[in-house]
Amino acid sequence: MSLKRNVGILLFNEVEVLDFAGPFEVFSITEFSETREKAFNVKTVSQHGGLIKSRNGLMVKPDFSFETAPLFDILIVPGGYGAEKIEIHNSEVIKWIQEQSTKVELLTSVCTGAFLLAKAGLLDGRSATTHWMDINRLETEFPNIKVLRNTRYVDEGNIITSGGISSGIHMSFHVIRRLISEEIALNTAKRMEYEITNI
């Protein structure tokens, strides 16, 4: 039986809502089959811990700041305008992601969250993907990355990148299958009424 893992989801202003809310839902409702115990403890974190204004105005209060955050087993870096246009220039966020990459079991990105991993130098020499609208930019700005098209996610061992928005949900099911079992991943998808044929 796998132990409960701590999942951290990075938040920042202008983060794409489904990028973080999709994985949050998936991991939050996942249960071990035998005990019905929650398989993941899911928390949100931002640089300063204050209110975040996500894309299109949804206000969210993170659980932790960088200073108060616990150790995570899995870190999810979502995307959106805030990732590709704002936080990519935030050296403190990039440094924190670099630091987390040495501590977590899995570092994952959704959509243009891949740009933050790329800026941190964590995707050099690896394959990765992002939202289809930003594929060319990722390829141009970070030539040391093998950018893959037409795929939901790319699993590179300790780093997983996923495509745009809803692909983060698909990637989350893949993580559950990989860390726990396909049965539990499929059961979680069924509970969410999320049609998934190949995880």
- Each residue of 12-54: pLDDT tens digit? 999 999 999 999 999 999 999 888 899 999 999 999 999 999 9
Give the pTM. Answer: 0.95
- The pLDDT > 70 percentage for the chain reads 97
- What is the CA 142 to chain-centroid distance, rounded? 20
**pLDDT tens per residue across span 54-108:** 999 999 999 999 999 999 999 999 999 999 999 999 999 999 999 999 999 999 9
pLDDT at 48: 98
Residue 198 pLDDT greater than 80, yes or no: no
Segments in 66-124 forming alpha helices (H) = 81, 91-101, 113-119
Q: Taking 50 as the threshold, does the pLDDT of residue 1 lie above it?
A: no
Please name each of the domains of the chain with its CATH number.
5-191 (3.40.50.880)
Residue 2 has pLDDT above 60, yes or no: no
In Å, how far are 39, 95, 173, 175, 192 from 181, measured between CA atoms? 11, 33, 10, 9, 17
Instruction: Give the Å distances, CA to CA, from 41 to 8, 29, 122.
Output: 9, 10, 25
pLDDT of residue 16: 97
State how far the Cα of 61 lies from the Cα of 87, in Å rounded to an integer.
18
3, two tokens: 């132990």
- Average model confidence (pLDDT) across the chain: 95
The tens digit of pLDDT for each residue in 123-173 reads 999 999 999 999 999 999 999 999 999 999 999 999 999 999 999 999 999
**Which of 144, 4, 176 minimizes the C-alpha distance to 73?**
4
